Amino acid sequence: MRPFLAVAAVALVAVPAAAALAPGSRAPTFHTRGALAGKVVDVNLASLLRKGPVVLYFFPAAGTKGCNAEAKAFADAVPQFAAAGATVLGMSGDSVEVLREFSTQECAGKFTVASAGPRVVKGYDVAFGRQIKTPSGAMINATRRVSYVIDRGGHIVYAHDDPRPDAHVTSTLDAVRALRRG
């Protein structure tokens, strides 16, 4: 089966109808700041894609119950994503300072989390539509919980748009594996 068809077969079964950007769409590029294991880092999508596919997942706010659980699940699965050749990157509207702490705790220092500015939120169509109060008391523009798999060529090959955090890791890992089998 051709690479796109293999991933498309997974996508037809697993992508909810409301996916923000459809498979086949060009992934908007970005350069922002984030945190990895408590250290502030530059994050450039083009650089990450040179290494292989990227699993880009958006989450509403660091420190919330669902986002903590999702981050831990992605952290636990990082070795499986790496074995399939993919890099995991989490994004939210949180400040880099908030993400520094989140990256050491819930992410266990295993993957980068980055701050999604308005251009990134709009480009990926993940605006939640309102501000929310974070556990630290800050008001942020929350993003919807949406996960993407982006191939090395910069195209969305899979999208999972679901407010529940539990299926994002398994569905994106399945899509990455299908892409690799290609």
Residue type, 178: A
Helix axes 168-181, 65-83, angle to 10 degrees: 20
In contact, 100 and 25? CB cutoff 8 Å: no
Other CB atoms closer than 10 Å to residue 147's CB: what's the count?
A: 27
Alpha carbon distance 151, 144 (integer Å): 22
Dist. CA 15–CA 32, nearest whole Å? 27
**CB-count exposure of residue 120 (10 Å: 0-12, 13-18, 19+):** buried
Residue 128 to residue 160: CA distance in whole angstroms? 15
3-state secondary structure of 172: helix
Rounded distance, CA 121 to CA 75, Å? 23
User: Using CA atoms, how far apart are residues 175 and 164, in angstroms rounded to an integer?
Assistant: 18
Tens of pLDDT, residue by residue over 43-97, are 999 999 999 999 999 999 999 999 999 999 999 999 999 999 999 999 999 999 9
Domains of the chain: 3-119+141-181 (3.40.30.10)
DSSP-assigned beta bridge partners for residue 89: 56, 112
What confidence score (pLDDT) does residue 105 get?
95
Segment 94-116, tens digit of pLDDT: 999 999 999 999 999 999 999 99
